[in-house]
Structures are given as C-alpha cells and as structure tokens.
Structure 1
Amino acid sequence: MALLILYTVFIGLVTLTPNQLDTGPGSFIAWLLEFLASHRVTAWIDYDMLEKLANVGMFIPFGLLMALQCGRSRWWVGWVTGIAFTCLIEGTQATLLSPTRFGTISDLVTNSLGAGIGAVAGLIAMTLWPGPADTPVDHEVR
C-alpha cells in the first residue's frame, strides 16, 4: 500500500506541477532523443513518440500496484482507477494549469493504456503466483 501511495504522489508531482520536464538543449530528454536518432533501430522515435511511450510506461506501475492491492477478483479496478486518475490529471492540466500545461486526449488514451497493461500484468502475476490470501484456509479443528 505504501508503494502505491508513493507512486501516486510521484505521478502527481510529474504531471501536476506548473512546469513540464526540461526539454531544452542539454537536457536529458534532448540527449535521449539525439541518442535514439543516432541508431538505425530507434531513429523513428521522435519527441511525440517518446512522450507517448513515457505516458504508457508511467502508468503501467500504477495499474500493476493498484491491481495487486485490489486482488485477483478485482484486478480491473487498477485499470478503472488509472482511467479516473488520468481524467483528473488531464482535467486539471486543461483548466487550472492551462497557461503552462496542456490536457490532451492523446495523454488520456496513453495513460489509460498503461494502467490497463499494468492491471493485466498484475492479474497475470497473481494468477501465476497466488499469495497467502488465495490459499484455501483449513478450518478443521485438530
């Protein structure tokens, strides 16, 4: 539960601060884009694609942690909560942070996709490695 809370706060800090991550010359993102462009296999990854991949990647752990928290029978709550969370984020960016941040449908879709992937990964993990809660309890008095 603590990891889920910390990760939710992390997403909030990344998405709900007035300024975006530094993308100017000399920034990590500029270096990464230059690095990707210099290799034939990854040259197709431009800023827009990197942003979409980052949005998906940022919400995979959220969906995973939420699904693990909710359990195997309610794994889908990780996906639904991820969709609700990204709606809140994009709405806040579009209204309260509109001079510096932009809420977009693309972000809504990619964040939701990431939460869904994470929730399904959580379901798979819980199915492959059932925890103590999934083990039948022996109520026989001895």
Structure 2
Amino acid sequence: MTDRDQRTVGAPLALLVLYTLFIAAITLTPQQMGTGPNTLIGHALDLFAAHRETAWLTYERVEKLGNVAMFIPFGFLAALHFGRRRWWLGFVVGASFSTAIEIFQGTVLTQTRFATLSDLVTNTIGAGIGALLGLCCMAVWPVRRTGSDSRREFATV
C-alpha cells in the first residue's frame, strides 16, 4: 500500500497551488489590505471596541489571529498532498513560505510593507495547526485500496 491515499493526490495539490497564489497576492503586493478607519476592518474594530466583551480584540490581536488563520489551509492542504508519512512537511513548507514572504517584504517592499518576526511565528503556527488537522483527517479517513493492493492482499491469503 502506498503512503498516499489515491483520493488525495491531485486535488490537494491543485488547491494548494491556488491557495499559495492567493497568499502571494495578499502578502507580496505593495499595498496592504485596507485597515484605515473607514474600511470594513476599521468598522469591525470600532464595533469590537464599543462592547466590553470584545474590547480585547485590538488591531494587533486581529492581525495575529488573521496570520494564523491564513496559513491553516496552507498547512492542511500541504499535509494532504504529502501524505500520512510526510504530513509534517506541511509545517516545514509553511514555515519556509512564510520566511520567503518576510524576506521579500523586508528587502523589496520596504516602502510599504514590514517584515516582522511576529508574522513569521504566527504564519508558522497556522501552518503547523493546518498540518496537524490534515494528519487528523488522514488518520480518520480509511485508506482506499487500489486494485493492485487488493490483488496483493488476496494473493497472500
């Protein structure tokens, strides 16, 4: 039996490529997402600040939570692509991708972007969470046997 379930070979890779392009579009362009007072994020933060229960949701915390959340699907899809034995590569590739983003922001986009260790850490945490979720899903999903696997098993009985 192979390391990868045949159901999870092509789709996770295609989605991972698309999601990588999505992250690149958000992080590797000179303009940041609108975070001013008259933007959706600004209005949401004002709403959070107006209530005692959500006042703790400051811009810095929302940004950190957003960085974690943005890399969870990346780690998840990478883990599914690499399979049960190499799921941890979702974490490693996510950390590497985040490092490349921060280097690019710190060298090329210095006028409008800031490379921070905090972003690297939160992105890596997100990729790790996603990779662990991918491992959990692969552990729960039964492995589909291919025709050759079934024949091998039958021959050994």
What TM-score, normalized to structure 1?
0.93
Amino acid at match of 1:117: I
Task: Select which of 28, 40, 50 maps to 1:16.
Answer: 28
Q: How many residues align?
A: 140
How far is 1:72 from its partner? 0.8
CA distance in 2, matches of 1:54, 1:67: 21
Counterpart in 1 of 2:39? Answer: 27
Secondary structure of the residue that 1:72 maps to in structure 2?
A: coil
Deviations 1:44-79 (A, max 9, x none): 010100000000000000000000111111100000
Structure with the greater alpha carbon radius of gyration: 2
Deviations 1:14-34 (A, max 9, x none): 000001111112101101111
Secondary structure of the residue that 2:85 maps to in structure 1?
A: helix
Which structure 1 residue ranges, 5 or more long, are not aligned? none
Secondary structure of the residue that 2:54 maps to in structure 1?
A: coil
Counterpart in 1 of 2:110? Answer: 98
Counterpart in 2 of 1:122? Answer: 134
Which structure 2 residue ranges, 5 or more long, are not aligned? 1-12
How far is 1:91 from its partner? 0.2
Counterpart in 1 of 2:74? Answer: 62
**Moved beyond 6 Å, runs of 4+:** none
Secondary structure of the residue that 1:73 maps to in structure 2?
A: coil
Please give the root-mean-square deviation of Cα atoms over the aligned residues, in Å.
1.6
What TM-score, normalized to structure 2?
0.84
Amino acid at match of 2:56: W
